[in-house]
């Protein structure tokens, strides 16, 4: 937290101790409510700090007046995107401070329910989508959450929990739907828990409804399952049955321990051939990490990039919009999307519509095509295991462990937040190691030394 609220720029002393404590609490609020990630929270706190340093306003000035004066003072010296960031930071601060002064006033819901507890489904979906994007959820998570919200709304109407054709949103309906998934549809524990998280976001964050202690909801308990792991020989046969970019992607996933979307989203700048390193940007949990770049794949990867460079230059001649950039980088660096460094390592062969901006541009290769290629390779290799793309990541971790690599190092390479997650591979590795031998057998196997 200290690195979020600290401001080491010259000429800017700290505020009073009380104000710094408030800024620390505000930073906690930004992270807890997922209004910002840790990278961007420090900039929001910095804008608020500068807002608090401005001269004391007139006693009759409102919060809106002080914000307007602050933005007017900033406007000549900052870019438009910075001005917008400063405005959002101060608005979030003022809203948070307002609730601090009046804690009895709960945060306003994104969608206000009618007196009968109903709301228009379109309004609920629109508000949920907007809040997911404000809190920087990934597009895949957004799709999953939106699908569960739609299923809940349809269920409430079909089960009679509706008024005038609109679903009635209540804690009882929420708990009934979660129980319905477990007891009637018999979905897996992971599916049910995914629905639980998505709908908890809807009720707690979008509608601001109290769902109680959830004691009435039947939830599945997820048992411990061991991952499927291939032997070294099986991996060799699988990769030998693949060719082209799919094989290169599969080799990177196995050789670097990547998740499938981490491989698909690789950019040219993420490859460091000099240090044999590969940088994973905004992986699971929006975290960066460094992992291995296998030496064996470097020649094929260089040849692949030469062919990709040709496609990149064709896009530039055709004036295709630049590739998608994370967060607000397209406003901060307007031309970055057209630079070679930001281009995809594995681009799609066709252009597609950006679902968030409605801009036609080139995206990365689809994960479904890679999954299909791996499935076909598993069948050709006659591997009698339920293996897929993620199996290669499991195999990477297990084979590293068998080869004596420290489990903490493997944890860093995989990007696991807790070592307990990585420990699951110790159970699989037992079956791949050579069976232990008795010390007596080792004694008899050792050659006798001649006595001088």
Let me know: does 15 contact 60? Beta carbons within 8 Å. Answer: no
- DSSP assignment of 62-116: -HHHHHHHHHHHHGGGS-HHHHHHHHHHHHHHHHHHHHHH-TTSPPPPSS---TT
**In the structure encoding, which two tokens stand for residue 88, read together?**
């959002």
- In angstroms, the CA 281 to CA 279 distance is 6
Active-site pick, 247, 362, 393, 399 = 393
Q: Which of 297, 344, 286, 284 is nearest to 320 (CA)?
A: 344
- In angstroms, the CA 433 to CA 438 distance is 15
364 has catalytic annotation = no
- In angstroms, the CA 424 to CA 240 distance is 28
CB within 8 Å of 74: residues ≥ 6 apart: 82, 83, 86
CB within 8 Å of 415: residues ≥ 6 apart: 280, 283, 284, 285, 287, 289, 291
- In angstroms, the CA 313 to CA 310 distance is 5
Residue with tokens 């900039």: 43
8 has catalytic annotation = no
Active-site pick, 247, 259, 364, 394 = 259
Phi-psi region of 111 (alpha: psi -120 to 50; beta: other; left: phi over 0): beta
Let me know: does 271 contact 293? Beta carbons within 8 Å. Answer: yes
- In angstroms, the CA 118 to CA 338 distance is 46
Q: What is the DSSP letter of 37?
A: -
418 has catalytic annotation = no
**In the structure encoding, which two tokens stand for residue 156, read together?**
């409430």
416 has catalytic annotation = yes
Consecutive H or E run containing 361: strand 360-364
The per-residue b/e assignment along 144-155, b for 16 or more CB within 10 angstroms, e otherwise, is bbbebbeebbeb
390 has catalytic annotation = yes
Active-site pick, 97, 284, 304, 361 = 284
Q: Residue 129 in 3-state DSSP? A: helix
- In angstroms, the CA 288 to CA 6 distance is 22
- In angstroms, the CA 74 to CA 232 distance is 60
254 has catalytic annotation = no
Query: Catalytic amino acids?
Result: 259, 284, 390, 393, 416, 425
């Amino acid at each position: 937290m200290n690195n979020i609220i600290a401001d080491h720029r010259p000429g800017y002393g700290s505020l009073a101790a009380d104000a710094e404590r408030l800024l620390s609490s505000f930073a906690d609020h930004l992270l807890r409510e997922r209004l910002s990630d840790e990278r961007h929270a420090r900039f929001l706190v910095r804008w608020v700090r500068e807002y608090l340093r401005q001269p004391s306003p007139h006693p009759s000035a409102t919060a809106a007046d002080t914000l307007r004066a602050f933005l007017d003072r900033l406007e000549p010296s900052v870019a438009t995107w910075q001005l917008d960031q400063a405005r959002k930071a101060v608005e979030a601060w003022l809203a948070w401070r307002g609730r601090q002064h009046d804690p009895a006033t709960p945060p306003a819901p994104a969608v206000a329910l009618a007196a009968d507890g109903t709301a228009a489904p379109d309004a609920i979906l629109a508000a949920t989508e907007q809040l997911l994007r404000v809190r920087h959820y990934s597009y895949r998570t957004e799709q999953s959450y939106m699908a569960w919200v739609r299923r809940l709304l349809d269920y409430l109407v079909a089960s009679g929990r509706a008024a005038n054709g609109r679903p009635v949103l209540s804690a009882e309906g929420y708990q009934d739907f979660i129980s319905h998934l477990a007891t009637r549809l018999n979905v897996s524990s992971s599916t049910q828990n995914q629905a639980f998280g998505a709908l908890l976001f809807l009720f707690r964050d979008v509608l601001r409804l109290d769902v109680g202690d959830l004691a009435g909801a039947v939830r599945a308990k997820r048992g411990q399952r061991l991952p499927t792991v291939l032997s070294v020989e099986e991996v060799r046969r699988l990769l030998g049955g693949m060719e082209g970019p799919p094989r290169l992607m599969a080799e990177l996933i196995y050789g670097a321990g990547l998740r499938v979307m981490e491989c698909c989203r690789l950019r040219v700048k993420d490859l460091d051939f000099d240090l044999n390193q590969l940088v994973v940007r905004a992986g699971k949990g929006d975290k960066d990490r460094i992992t291995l770049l296998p030496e064996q794949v470097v020649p094929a990867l260089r040849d692949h990039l030469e062919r990709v460079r040709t496609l990149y230059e064709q896009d530039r001649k055709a004036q295709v919009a630049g590739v998608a950039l994370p967060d607000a980088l397209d406003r901060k660096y307007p031309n970055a999307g057209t630079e070679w460094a930001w281009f995809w390592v594995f681009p799609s062969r066709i252009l597609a519509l950006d679902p968030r901006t409605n801009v036609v541009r080139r995206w990365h290769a689809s994960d479904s095509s890679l999954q299909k290629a791996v499935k076909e390779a598993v069948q050709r290799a006659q591997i009698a295991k339920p293996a897929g793309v993620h199996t290669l990541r499991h195999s990477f971790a297990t084979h590293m462990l068998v080869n004596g690599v420290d489990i903490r190092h493997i944890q860093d390479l995989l990007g696991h937040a807790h070592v307990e997650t990585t420990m699951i591979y110790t159970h699989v590795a037992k079956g791949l190691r050579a069976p232990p031998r008795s010390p007596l057998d080792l004694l008899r196997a050792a050659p006798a030394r001649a006595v001088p």
